[in-house]
Amino acid sequence: MKGTLVELEVDSKALADNPLGDPARRPLLVYLPPGGTAGLPTVTFLHGFTGSARGWTNVSAFQPTVPERLDALVADGAIPPLVGIFPDGFTALGGTQWIDAPGVGRYQTYVADEVLALVEGKLGTAARPAARAVVGKSSGGYGALAMVRDRTAFAHVACHAGDAYFEYCYLADLPRAAAALLAEPDPAAWLAGMKRRARETKLAGSDHPVLNTLAMAAHYSPNPAAPLGLDLPFDPATARLRDPVWARWLAHDPARFVPQRLDAFRRLRSVFVDCGTRDEYHLRWGARMIVAALRAGGVEVEHQEFEDGHMGTSYRFDASLRFLAPRLSRD
């Protein structure tokens, strides 16, 4: 790398005493381009479900990591220099949707208030929305959309295959989760057993639908009085949808909240949305719904589709960075 990847720590007041008992002190990776950081714009990267800050450095054979991709774009002059920020959102349930969720923690506040303040205070990067972008993939893409809906800290956003149109991306997991929980009705006991199996051997492919369902329920249908502090969206005995709980989930769906909050998206300077045409979670359609709603509301969107699935698509950050980086304010 021509630039440098450094690790900082965030002592988060927002995450202190979170309901899952997750650590409030978090690692934070920051990419520094050659030549200094004073006054530079920033791009904050939100990782997907089961990801982590250090996970951005995981090596795949013959493929650069995302920080290495960012470095190459800067070194080649394909994009102007900027600082890359990689916060940590791993939780006891496998991850966050990067929102302030009563059942999980205040991860949106942690990023928008604490992470940005730490980086800007230490590195002197530009402390204004026009010089900040937030980008993410999958749960990170969801979090990026929610971030610009709720906060004015960022004027640029990119959503790669973000969770959207919940009928397509989550419903298929629910009967699989119901089957696993029929054998182990206590979600907390199931979670403890899964973690034990992961330590002793590895996660099974069948674990993901259950873990994902529990994590999403903690975000979308929290209930402090219920096991694990969440309401399942289905009846455990029959797997029939619980309509009132499912309605709580749908209220968090970007395919629904984007058309209702067009005011928040109209203030943005850049919006990028993409998804693979073979996305296994059918997120292509949610992306199309979001783009259609934004365009109908007068919001300019760069929308791209590409021939690939959901996994192994980190190369797509090249596309969003090429689009966003020249638009970041450098005044």
119-166 tens-digit pLDDT: 999 999 999 999 999 999 999 999 999 999 999 999 999 999 999 999
Buried b or exposed e, range 108-139, using 16+ CB within 10 angstroms = bbbbbbbbbebbbeebebbeebbbbbbbbbbb
Q: What is the pLDDT of residues 26-81, one digit of tens each?
A: 999 999 999 999 999 999 999 999 999 999 999 899 999 999 999 999 999 999 99
Check pLDDT > 80 for residue 99. yes
> Hey, what amino acid is at 130?
A
Q: What is the pLDDT of residues 193-207, one digit of tens each?
A: 999 999 999 998 899
> Hey, what amino acid is at 25?
R
Beta bridge partners of 4: 32
Residue 237 class from Cβ within 10 Å (0-12 exposed, 13-18 middle, 19+ buried)?
exposed
pTM score: 0.97
What is the C-alpha to C-alpha distance for residues 217 and 230, in angstroms, rounded to an integer?
6
Mean pLDDT of 224-232: 94
Mean pLDDT of 104-112: 98
In the chain, what are the domain boundaries? 4-165+254-327, 168-250
What is the C-alpha to C-alpha distance for residues 281 and 165, in angstroms, rounded to an integer?
10
Cα-to-chain-centroid distance, residue 29? 16
C-alpha closest to that of 328 among 133, 171, 124, 185:
133
Handedness of CA 321, 53, 173, 142 (dihedral sign): negative
The CATH code that applies to domain 4-165+254-327 is: 3.40.50.1820
**φ/ψ (deg, to 5) at 84:** -100, 130
Q: What is the pLDDT of residue 32?
A: 98
Residue 184 class from Cβ within 10 Å (0-12 exposed, 13-18 middle, 19+ buried)?
middle
Output the CA torsion 253→255→307→144 (10° steps): -60
Residue 63 class from Cβ within 10 Å (0-12 exposed, 13-18 middle, 19+ buried)?
exposed
- Greatest alpha-carbon span in the chain: 61
